[in-house]
Structure 1
Amino acid sequence: MLATTLSATSLLLPSPANAKGTQPGVDRVRSDQWHLQYLQIAKAHRLNLGDGVTVAVLDTGVDSHPDLVPNLLQGADAISGGTGNGQHDLIGHGTGMAGLIAARGRGGTRGALGIAPHARILPVIVTPTDGGGESDALADGIEYAISHGANIISISSVGGATQRLIKAVNAALSADVVIVASAGNRPQDAFVGYPASRDGVIAVSGVNKDGSHAAVSVTGPQVDVAAPAVDIYSTSINGTYRVGTGTSDATAIVAGAAALIRSKFPDLPAQEVAHRLTATAIDKGPPGRDDEYGYGVIDLVAALTADVPPLGFESTAATAPASTRAASAEASGDGATARGLATLGVLLAAGGGYLVWRRRRRADDPPPRISR
């Protein structure tokens, strides 16, 4: 069996409730979540909160953190040593990912807040406390998530593509489940790992507080989008909080973004959810898709409000230059997903205006906030 490894490093923080000045301490956790302001979460939450969506977190388990309890479902253990329901986490990684997706905080600006705070979390333990794991356990977790109604599967780990895991990933995609997976971290990972490398899976890289590529993040042609990945604060075990760095955190943030989209557009197929993320992303690096940012950094507000033509929409792509038509034709082959179509025929389908809109947004990137 080929092992899977977690895609983040983290530091456990004491619970603010146990520190001097409880209220200021708890508020500090929220203010330290710089990615929320960077992603304009207040505007996004006026549009949607993630109601009616279930996100399966396949990780080290999810502890019953006060900021998460309202959204935490009974899950499962794909490896031995847990409680049998996925609600057991010895190192805090899975609890952190769940918090980034759906933490509700403790009222007002207290505690940690997730991207989709009304989404439900389905915890499945697939990774032991040493951070390693087996691909078959991940396959078991994917199958459990499918059978228990997950709309989105968040995988903050990378590993090898065994036949059993490939079959499980294929089954999830066929079941119209959105899969979001981390690209991997340097130096332990040299290239985009599985399942992020699979067409149809949203592969996530990371950015710093200023929106530049995070050195920890793996690059590659499979990267679809980028999200904040450095000094990311979230929930942890025993009511505490953690700060993590890595594409694990970026992946959970993108899974939360996918939850907002699925909630606002409940009839949108999984590949259209992915397309909406890539088509509205804020372009970074060289114009168009690149190996560091994919199609760009996710834009929550645009993903929930933009008029995005559907995949396969035909218009000006037919009259585009020969080089563009050739690229579009290649992207529309068997197994093509948002990775292949989002920036070619679909974006050109808006007569060029939509592409201009995306490029103009490069000058409107949210500035970095809350430097530490």
Structure 2
Amino acid sequence: MSGTAPANLHTSAQASPDAAARIRADQWHLGYLKVGKANQISQGEGVVVAVTDTGVDPHQDLRANLLVGTTTISGTSGDGRKDMNSHGTSMAGLIAAHGQSDGTGALGIAPRSKILPIQSSGANNVGTADDLAAGIEFAIANGADVICVSSSGGASPDLIKAVKAAILANVVVVAAAGNTPEDSYVGYPGREQGVIAVGGIDRLGEHASISVLGPEVDVVAPAVDIYSTSYRGKYSKGTGTSSATAIVAGAAALIRSKYPNLPAQEVAHRLTATAIDKGPPGRDDQYGYGVIDLVAALTADVPPLGFETPSVTAPASTAAGNRTNDNSTARGLATLGVLLAAGGGYLVWRRRRRGGDPPPRISR
């Protein structure tokens, strides 16, 4: 399987009514991104988002939006609705959590979208590139409109083929840029042209120190102290571009719901064209085209892509251009979502690595 170490899991008490009442206020990214205003325009109705991750538990704040999926881990079986790690449930909650009828519980960016859970990584947060490839193929075959890949790492011929097939099938593919210090450049599939590569910002809207830089970064979203659902009915607090990726996948779901006939490339274009510019004027390696603006992406008059307008994801940097591998780890689920301590009913997750070299990678 891997060259990455399993996550250290520290679980606290079972989720309580008090935790459910607090979680919404703890989700600072909702106010920052004006999710309430965006949800007056779109809530993601009719959109299926595939989450290729560690599986998704039927959390009380999410279960009404959870479809039957699959596992693609070699030698295992299942329908994707079991998570031994928490990461996948956290990502799904950021996308589509509906909360509870009394207004408590976690809320996702697109709370009426549906989650197609695909377990492509195990309890130790590691899966192969080919497991991820099979997950993407399943998502295409089962009607996914958006695929969320909250990971970054190596590729295989099958993974490259699957990602390109998703793009050709008019699916919006969103992937994490990666986290320092484990990652030093944007890995796969974020570096594939046509994939939306997502970096992170902190609570102040500034570049998150954990977020990888690179010419492939397209947009950024909140990535620090991000609260969401977790396994076994609990909640989580995470820092990493995993969370930012799930948030952008939710944004794509809002757009696909509001503009159901808009091609995937135009969905990505709406996100980049309406992003709030940060850093040097124009696109840069920290922020890409800027911080996503949900309301603008849903309401702005955005001209369609012109013949000479580049699609998302700039060409890979030459520094990473010669790295190769055959079936290296499609890792990053732990790397990209470092869940930190939180009081009263929150999961605590810290990731550590074994010594030695990182897994080999392949560039586009």
TM-score bucket (shorter structure): 0.7 to 0.9
Partner of 1:346: none
1:102 and 1:77 map into 2 onto residues whose CA distance is 20
Larger relative contact order (C-alpha < 8 A, sep ≥ 6)?
2
TM-score when scaled to structure 2?
Answer: 0.82
Shift >3 Å, 4+ stretches? 3-6, 8-16, 80-83
Partner of 1:124: 118
Amino acid at match of 1:46: Q
CA drift at 1:97: 0.2
2:22 and 2:64 map into 1 onto residues whose CA distance is 22
Give 1 or 2: higher helix fraction. 1
Amino acid at match of 2:70: A
- Deviation readout 1:267-298 (Å, 9 max, x if unpaired): 00000000000000010001110001100000
1:35 to 19, 29, 36: 29
Is the alpha carbon distance of 1:71 and 1:167 closer, same or farther for their aligned partners in structure 2, counting shifts above 3 Å? same
Partner of 2:157: 163
2:39 to 27, 45, 55: 45
Is the alpha carbon distance of 1:290 and 1:71 closer, same or farther for their aligned partners in structure 2, counting shifts above 3 Å? same
2:243 to 236, 249, 263: 249
2:113 paired with 1:139: no
Partner of 2:91: 97
Is the alpha carbon distance of 1:75 and 1:158 closer, same or farther for their aligned partners in structure 2, counting shifts above 3 Å? same
Partner of 1:220: 214
Asked if structure 2 preserves the Cα contact closer than 8 Å seen for 1:4 and 1:134, the reply is no
Amino acid at match of 2:155: A
Q: How high is the sequence identity, in percent, across the aligned residues?
A: 61
Asked if structure 1 preserves the Cα contact closer than 8 Å seen for 2:93 and 2:108, the reply is yes
Partner of 2:356: none
Amino acid at match of 1:211: G
Asked if structure 1 preserves the Cα contact closer than 8 Å seen for 2:42 and 2:257, the reply is yes
2:232 paired with 1:238: yes
108-117 or 74-83, which moves further after superposition?
74-83
Is the alpha carbon distance of 1:265 and 1:240 closer, same or farther for their aligned partners in structure 2, counting shifts above 3 Å? same
Asked if structure 1 preserves the Cα contact closer than 8 Å seen for 2:191 and 2:313, the reply is no
Is the alpha carbon distance of 1:9 and 1:195 closer, same or farther for their aligned partners in structure 2, counting shifts above 3 Å? farther
2:207 paired with 1:207: no
Corresponding residue SS for 2:227: strand
2:173 paired with 1:179: yes
Let me know the Cα RMSD of the aligned residues. 2.2
Corresponding residue SS for 2:40: helix
2:249 and 2:217 map into 1 onto residues whose CA distance is 15
Corresponding residue SS for 2:232: helix
2:261 paired with 1:287: no
Partner of 2:272: 278
1:121 and 1:197 map into 2 onto residues whose CA distance is 24
Amino acid at match of 1:26: A
2:206 and 2:102 map into 1 onto residues whose CA distance is 31
Is the alpha carbon distance of 1:260 and 1:188 closer, same or farther for their aligned partners in structure 2, counting shifts above 3 Å? same
TM-score when scaled to structure 1?
Answer: 0.81
Partner of 1:337: 311
1:4 and 1:119 map into 2 onto residues whose CA distance is 35
Corresponding residue SS for 1:338: coil
Asked if structure 2 preserves the Cα contact closer than 8 Å seen for 1:176 and 1:270, the reply is yes
Is the alpha carbon distance of 1:213 and 1:237 closer, same or farther for their aligned partners in structure 2, counting shifts above 3 Å? same
127-136 or 184-193, which moves further after superposition?
127-136
Is the alpha carbon distance of 1:339 and 1:190 closer, same or farther for their aligned partners in structure 2, counting shifts above 3 Å? closer
2:75 and 2:155 map into 1 onto residues whose CA distance is 25
2:279 paired with 1:311: no
